[in-house]
Amino acid sequence: MEKLIVGVLGEKFAGKDAAANYLAEKYGAAHFRFSHILDDILRLLNLPVSRGNEIALGLGLREIFGRQVLGPAIVKRVQDSKQALVVVNGLRMDEVEEIKKIGGKIVYITAPAELRFARYQNRHEKADDGSMDYIQFIGQEQSITEVDIPALGQKADFKIENTGTLEELYQKIEDILRKLK
């Protein structure tokens, strides 16, 4: 049985987590997020799991150990997974190519900034969720980890405009799965 690997990328609050969680819940997919590695380190250091800390840690690791330091860690988790369907969520920078090299298909999920900000105000997963105003939210998208996401989206195999309901997002995911099988 060949493993189906789906890499998900997109701007923050575009719907990456909703898509990955759907695949995990409906199909039993293994779900790996690049931020999980960073969150594990932050917890070990007894630091708040916040978007700001994730960005700082990720950049620090890349600066010290090289731009591609996180890619091999996720690839190892994917290869070690026993599930037939694996979702790698939150791709950034060179990580798209790492996932493509092991046969992954890339899905770019996007939504307008205003809609993503509204979602941000209602989610409280990280310590700093809901604390920024719209100007700060947009400003954070100019950080080195975020600014290239639309360009990376051009390398994706599939694109989802997530502007509707969760059910509409799920239907778009199902359409992609049909094409991949």
pLDDT tens track for 78-99: 999 999 999 999 888 778 888 9
Distances (CA, A) of 17 to 25, 58, 181: 12, 19, 22
Q: Determine contact, residues 156/109, Cβ cutoff 8 Å.
A: no
For domain 4-180, which architecture applies?
3-Layer(aba) Sandwich (3.40)
Domain ranges for the chain, please list them.
4-180
pLDDT by residue (tens digit) across 118-174? 998 887 776 666 678 899 889 988 887 788 999 999 999 999 999 999 999 999 999
Closest by CA position to 58, among listed 133, 145, 125, 160: 145
Q: State mean pLDDT over 55-72.
A: 89
Q: Is the pLDDT of residue 26 over 80?
A: yes
- Using the CB atoms, write b or e for 133-152: b if 16+ within 10 Å: eeeebeebeeeebeeebeeb
**What pLDDT shows up at residue 131?**
77
pTM for the whole structure: 0.87
Instruction: Give me the chain's average pLDDT, please.
Output: 91
